[in-house]
Amino acid sequence: MKFNKLTPEEEKVILGKATEAPFSGEYDNFFNEGSYVCRRCGTPLYSSKSKFDARCGWPSFDEEIKGAVKRIPDADRIRTEIVCASCGAHLGHVFEGENFTAKNTRHCVNSISLKFIPKE
């Protein structure tokens, strides 16, 4: 699999599992129509139709593209990490039971882990 070249900041989050500062990412307050792909490998992860404003400081989605996101118990044993199912890139964490949407799921994703592709 061919990977996109990452900046040191992107590597820190995507490979090192760091978290970007809240309210700092380019897609936090961004609601254009299109899709979000993995910045590392380009795999489609989320549709803009599943994005919502959770006011948490990071882009939030209540549904991934089927089979695109893998859930892994986090090292802290409290949260559940989400990664790209194709390349393992760290995306963020998933939370359930918060009642933000009818699907009751919030994928809290680092903007730096994503690339937006506008709808044509």
Give the distance, in angstroms, between the CA of residue 99 and the centroid of all CA atoms in the same chain: 19
84 is catalytic: no
Alpha carbons 23 and 99: distance in angstroms, whole number: 21
Marked catalytic residue, from 38, 41, 87, 108: 108
List, in order, residues 6 or more apart from 29 with CB less than 8 Å away: 53
Residues annotated as catalytic (active site), given as ranges: 108
